[in-house]
Structure 1
Amino acid sequence: MALTFRQLKYFVATAELGQLSQAAIHLTISQSAVTSAIKELEDSLGTQLFLRTATGVTLTATGRRFLNHAYTILASVDEAMRIPNLESTLTGMLAIAASYTVLGYFLPHHIQRLNALYPRLTIQLHELNRDAIEEGLITGQYDMAVLLTSNVSNPELALEPMIHSVRRLWVGGHHPLLKRESVTFSEVAHEPFVMLTVDEAAQTAMRYWNETPWRPNVILRTSSVEAVRSMVANGSGVALLSDMVYRPWSLEGRRIETIMLLDPVPAMSVGLAWRKNKELSPAMHAVREYFRHTFMEPRTTG
């Protein structure tokens, strides 16, 4: 059976949302259609892409690798369909602010695509923390921002979340917790914990830890994702971070595995922000429509 565009769309939606039911709602189709498409895709590839859990689905190691290929294929198709727009007459300058995590792990690829789609539009990027981004949007210093929308509560800003990156437990390649059928906060609380601090990660972590009777045994607080990666891969501790910043290897070449906790952990939401009631310029509208088309709108109806 040949791999289809529809299967890839449904697979990506399920991978990003972590639940078949949520993927169906996002795509405005039935859950059975999503289930059938993924089964067809797994049959075509001859391998399992998802593990079914009590709270939804999680990517297998093969599924995570295939997700990168799926993104590439869908982006290529999308680019081909937009070829007439490559000679766009949209001109001007757009100041976009971004937080550290977004700029390091999400935005560069999309800036490259926007530059290709709108070659006469100049995009200026500014890396800032959330407080500075919010102030800059309100004062007009920046036109738009791409940031962790799950951290924003400013009523003066309009928010448009695009993706929700699942948070999982990171452990070394031979960690004993990998042998457990399920892992909860109670088990994690007994492990040495490496706490990432950049982009308010520590405050966010404590919000969901505080929903439990447990507390993390923090041995290191660091703003470096690579430091977290190395500590986890070397067996010095565990971490709880989103799939967006996950990579399977540390700089030393040691393996990092992930575990989906049985307890609920909120996803990390990434999206656009701009000053509420601000009239969107043609450039702002183009950027918003690009991200809507890429992440938010269903691209097929079957």
Structure 2
Amino acid sequence: MELRQLRYFVTVAEEGGFGRAAERLGVVQSAVSQQVRRLERTWGVELFERTTRSVRLSGAGERMLPEARAVLAAADRAARVAVDVTAGEDGVLRLGGVHGPGDRIDRVLAELSAGAPRLRVRLHRLPVTRRLEAVRDGELDAALVRALPDGPGAAPGLEALPLWSDPLYAALPADHPLAAEPELRPERLAHLPLRLAPPERNPPFHALVADAFRAAGVRPEAGPPFTDLRATLTAIGTDREPSWTLFYEVRGLPGTPRVAVRPLTGLTVTTSLAVRPGPPGPALRHLLRALHAVG
């Protein structure tokens, strides 16, 4: 069964004859007759009662006519959606996301919705290494990633488009002498054990911290591993041996008893959009406009 056969069938039914249907369709009458016959053989029914003087729908034809119209209407809708998807006005954008800071991601999604209201966004929360793999493999259209270093080797096989930079913060015991300072440089904290996640947990962020200390000419003392922010801050505030950690804001700055949070100067974390190389598609262009409008 072909859509052309359904369209010919519906046109003959509406025009009441093969000749008028052929004229409306802009084809010869024999082509219309041939395609309708093929449809009848496919379905195993006679759609029309034919005489030398008239053509009218059979009982089977009356029953099949609304079904044929429904199929054609669905095909027309699919074609219109395809046009909109090609233009980026419709479809699904699969985006790897990050948390915060503040409501920035919510504002990006609102801006995207205003610019392309029929474009649906599927937001995926994945570890950073898996996020980059998903973009590389085509499972995601793009991913937001923090702390990707500059240069082509930052994310092999991908392009990293810098979007915005955010400050980093140090958390240390509130009774430590350095907590009296309003802001701190990383090298001032080098003598304190640093709670940092293993490199495999977040390679870009780990590299950012290591590069900052290397540039300052110091090497931080390794402390207990960073688990999650809340547990790590609690340990900093309660352990007898002083230690510290650094983090970026996600949902506001945390307040933990016996822990001081201070801005780190000279060190920021950049959020980038990781995409596959090449010109961005229409949906991705909508996303880029929304990101730059908010960022």
Shorter-chain TM range is 0.5 to 0.7
Q: CA deviation at 1:249?
A: 0.6
Distance 1:183 1:292 in 2: 30
Q: CA deviation at 1:208?
A: 1.9
CA contact (8 A) 1:160 1:273 kept: yes
Q: CA deviation at 1:199?
A: 2.4
Q: CA deviation at 1:129?
A: 3.3
CA contact (8 A) 2:169 2:263 kept: yes
Unaligned runs of 5+ in 1: 1-88, 296-302
Distance 1:129 1:277 in 2: 25
Distance 1:149 1:183 in 2: 20
Aligned to 2:202: 199
1:102-251 paired onto structure 2 within 5 Å:
102-103=98-99, 105=101, 108-110=105-107, 112-114=109-111, 116-117=113-114, 118-148=116-146, 150-151=148-149, 153-154=154-155, 156-180=157-181, 183-197=184-198, 198-200=201-203, 201-234=205-238, 236-244=242-250, 247-250=253-256
Distance 2:111 2:227 in 1: 29
For 1:105-152, what per-residue CA distance to the aligned partner results, in whole angstroms no more than 9, with x for missing partners?
Answer: 567524652575344322112223343333332332211111125247
Aligned to 1:16: none
Identity score, percent? 17
1:17-36 paired onto structure 2 within 5 Å:
none
For 1:21-51, what per-residue CA distance to the aligned partner results, in whole angstroms no more than 9, with x for missing partners?
Answer: xxxxxxxxxxxxxxxxxxxxxxxxxxxxxxx
Distance 1:179 1:103 in 2: 30
Aligned to 1:75: none
Q: CA deviation at 1:271?
A: 2.3
Q: CA deviation at 1:245?
A: 6.8
Secondary structure, in 3 states, of the residue corresponding to 2:270? strand
Aligned to 1:285: 285
Distance 1:230 1:182 in 2: 21
CA contact (8 A) 1:247 1:256 kept: no
For 1:49-77, what per-residue CA distance to the aligned partner results, in whole angstroms no more than 9, with x for missing partners?
Answer: xxxxxxxxxxxxxxxxxxxxxxxxxxxxx
Q: Per the alignment, do residues 110 and 220 of structure 1 end up closer, same or farther by CA in structure 2, a change over 3 Å counting?
A: farther
Distance 2:164 2:187 in 1: 29
For 1:153-172, what per-residue CA distance to the aligned partner results, in whole angstroms no more than 9, with x for missing partners?
Answer: 23642322121112232223
Amino acid in structure 2 at the alignment position of 1:146: L
Distance 2:130 2:183 in 1: 40
Distance 2:220 2:147 in 1: 25
How many residues align? The count is: 198
Q: CA deviation at 1:292?
A: 0.7
Q: CA deviation at 1:205?
A: 1.7
Q: CA deviation at 1:190?
A: 2.1
Query: Pairwise CA RMSD of aligned residues?
Result: 3.2
For 1:239-258, what per-residue CA distance to the aligned partner results, in whole angstroms no more than 9, with x for missing partners?
Answer: 123345761413xx555320
Distance 2:89 2:164 in 1: 27
CA contact (8 A) 1:162 1:271 kept: yes
TM-score with structure 2 setting the length: 0.56
Secondary structure, in 3 states, of the residue corresponding to 1:289? helix
Aligned to 1:96: 95
